[in-house]
Amino acid sequence: MNFGSDNQAGVSPRILQTLVEAASGIQSAYGNDEWSQRAEQMLGEAFGTPVKVFFVTTGTAANCLALSTIAQPWNAVVCHNMAHIAVDENSAPALFTGGASLLPMATDNGKISAEDLAAFVERTPHDAPHNMVISGLSISQVTENGLVYQPQEIAALATQAHALGLRVHMDGARLANAVAALQCHPGDITWRAGVDVLSLGASKNGALMAEAVVFFDQALAQNFSLRIKRSGQLVSKSRTIGAQFCAWLEGGHWMELARHANAMASKLSAALAATPSVRLSWPTQANEVFVLMPIALYEQLRAQGVRCTDWYASSVPAGTQLQAGEVVVRFVTSWSSTDEEITALMDLVHSRQRQAA
């Protein structure tokens, strides 16, 4: 019963098979291999626009290298205060940007609206050179509390950002889940909505280790190969990553994987929400389910081998009050989650409920 994280799942057989195929034989190194070049082309086709793509090994590297193209050391990037770049990437943003700062902002629902952004920038001191100069906005799609931005929300936000002189980065560690949830074209929530540079993750959606920085504004990609090299992200057998992306995109495989993960989350969410003493923290829109439950239940689940994570108490919606003995718990589904896992989990939950009654 693995609901710990989609990055604990195994690798999709189709991706693994392609990786095995790519692993044999001679290929030029350092990004000049055929697989990487084909993957870049396929990404352009998938997004419906020419893109410049660089492959890296982790989401942290993808995010922070992308940020380095929109923030000089004296700049600041606005993001949500739950953002992965603000919370879970240690000091990597400062390292990769040479010292730029994040300005994390709180909002009611984990998303940033155009109005939120305008008000935040307005009230942030901006008397250069004393204050930092805000140069960018970074948003996560899916957000860190499992919500999905609508295309028009992103478009309004990016329009506002550009009007304020900011460039727009999207952390797309779970972009595939968002596309699947919205049943939209990938371009609708990225470049058509005003995203300048995207971190695109495949590792949480069936790949072994495959992350990309996708430039819709190709001018930002200037010198990027130097940034890649100096940060130790230029993999010699670069086919490793290119081949995974090829298989991930081929025939819409990424959407199959994401749709499955999302469907499993929906099912789990409905089952948990129907359970007395468990309540949803946030609506389930992609492949993450956030609930509030008694700590005793959480601990019993963990004791019986369920992988799930106690989450930040501060992550609940404004107005929601944790009751005594209540904790926030995150369940993540993946391409490999099964009905049987969900049934087994719910059996444990119901069994515990009966004991408690």
User: Hey, which residues between 104 and 133 contact a second copy (CB under 8 A)?
Assistant: 123, 125, 128-133
For a second copy, the binding residues in 66-85 under the rule CB under 8 A are 72-76
Residues sharing a CB contact under 8 Å with residue 227, sequence separation 6 or more, in sequence order = 65, 68, 69, 96
Of the candidates 209, 79, 194, 202, the one whose C-alpha atom is nearest the C-alpha of residue 144 is: 79
- The residue within the footprint of a second copy, chosen from 49, 58, 107, 277 (CB under 8 A), is 58
What's the closest the beta carbon of residue 156 comes to a second copy, in angstroms?
25
Q: How far is the CB of 69 from a second copy (least distance, A)?
A: 12
Of the residues 218, 314, 351, 355, which one makes contact with a second copy according to CB under 8 A:
314
User: According to the binding rule CB under 8 A, does residue 199 interact with a second copy?
Assistant: no
Q: Segment contacting a second copy (CB under 8 A): 108-116, 191-199, 231-239, 316-324? A: 231-239
Provide the 8-state DSSP code for 45.
H
Q: How many CB atoms lie within 10 A of CB 219?
A: 9
Q: Which of 13, 74, 64, 22 is nearest to 238 (CA)?
A: 22
Per CB under 8 A, 226 contacts a second copy = yes
Query: Can you tell me which of 42, 46, 53, 64 binds a second copy, judged by CB under 8 A?
Result: 64
Which residues pair with residue 105 across a beta bridge?
80
Q: Is 166 in the site for a second copy (CB under 8 A)?
A: no
- Residue 43 sits at the vertex; the CA angle it makes with 14 and 3, to the nearest 5 degrees, is 50
Interface stretch with a second copy, choices 90-98, 189-197, 274-282, 348-356 (CB under 8 A): 90-98
Residue 258 CB-density burial (10 A; 0-12 exposed, 13-18 middle, 19+ buried): buried
270-309 binders of a second copy (CB under 8 A): 307
Please identify which residue in 138, 233, 281, 287 interacts with a second copy, judged by CB under 8 A.
233
When binding is defined by CB under 8 A, the residue of 312, 320, 325, 347 that contacts a second copy is: 312
337, 308 Cβ separation under 8 angstroms: no
Question: Before 129, cis peptide (omega within 30)?
Answer: yes
For position 163 contacting a second copy by CB under 8 A, the verdict is no
Judged by CB under 8 A, does residue 321 bind a second copy?
Answer: no
Query: Quick one: which of 34, 41, 94, 275 contacts a second copy (CB under 8 A)?
Result: 94
Of 18, 40, 51, 59, which lies in the binding site for a second copy, with binding defined by CB under 8 A? Answer: 59
Residue 325 lies near a second copy (rule: CB under 8 A):
no
Smaller CB distance to a second copy: residue 226 or 270? Answer: 226
Report d(CA 304, CA 309) in Å as an integer.
14
Q: Which of 106/356 has CB closer to a second copy? A: 106
Closest to 123 (Cα-Cα) out of 141, 106, 139, 146: 106
Helix axes 239-249, 34-47, angle to 10 degrees: 40
